Amino acid sequence: MKIGIVEGSVREGRLATTVARWVADAAARRADVDHEVLALADFDLPFVDTPTPPAALGAQYPYESVQRWSTAIDACDALILVTPEYNHGVPGALKNAIDWLSGELQNKPAALVSYGADGGVRAVEQWRQILANFNMHVVRSQVALNLFTEFDDGAIAPTERSSGALDTLLEQLIASASLRAGK
């Protein structure tokens, strides 16, 4: 089983890299899953600009970068979105990346790890609505890291509660993906 950990910010100096690494380290401690960090910045996706909505393109995209993104997501059995909160909502770059996809996401289990002044929970609530459009199963457990108390000069300093929540999130995500795979 492969979990894709999506680094959902493309800003220079983004915290997303640090948070995704922390999530990847927790996944690496488990013998029952493989994982891959998918850094959005590495894909350099254009804005959705096709005359036909992407969902109707049958996963045949007019950009090599989008095709690569589609293939990478399709290869994952479950996803963890590492998401900041921008202006009390989801970050545009990650929303655009999701807007390119459709079949690659259908029914796929997912989990959300957020960060922000209030843990990024407003973005998470929006993601839950958005991902429901793909009939994704977003597990209940989430991790919401507080910018002021769980980071120290760019390094992550999670509370015991957040570390425990990450383990529970992984447990729930793997259970959901196993159920989907009929295992």
CB 124 → ligand FMN: shortest distance, Å? 11
Residue 147 found at the interface with ligand FMN (CB under 6 A): yes
Picking from 54, 49, 58, 173, the residue whose alpha carbon sits closest to that of residue 109 is: 173
Structure tokens at 180: 């989907």
Q: Which amino acid is at 174?
A: I
Q: Closer to ligand FMN at the Cβ: 54 or 84? A: 84
Which of 61, 69, 85, 165 binds ligand FMN (CB under 6 A)? It is 85
Listed ranges 43-51, 64-72, 99-107, 111-119: which one lies at the site for ligand FMN (CB under 6 A): 111-119
CA distances from 86 to 8, 14, 42, 90, 100 (A): 11, 13, 20, 6, 20
Residue 109 found at the interface with ligand FMN (CB under 6 A): no
Q: Which amino acid is at 183?
A: K
Cβ-based neighbour number of residue 105 at 10 Å: 20
**Alpha carbons within 13 A on the beta-carbon side of 138:** 20
Q: Which residue is nearest to ligand FMN (CB)?
A: 116
What is the spatial distance between Cα 106 and Cα 18, in angstroms, rounded to a whole number? 28
x/- contact string, 33-72, with ligand FMN (CB under 6 A)? ----------------------------------------
Residue 88 found at the interface with ligand FMN (CB under 6 A): yes
Which of 4, 84, 109, 158 binds ligand FMN (CB under 6 A)? It is 84
Interface contacts to ligand FMN, rule CB under 6 A: 9, 11, 14-16, 84-88, 116-118, 147
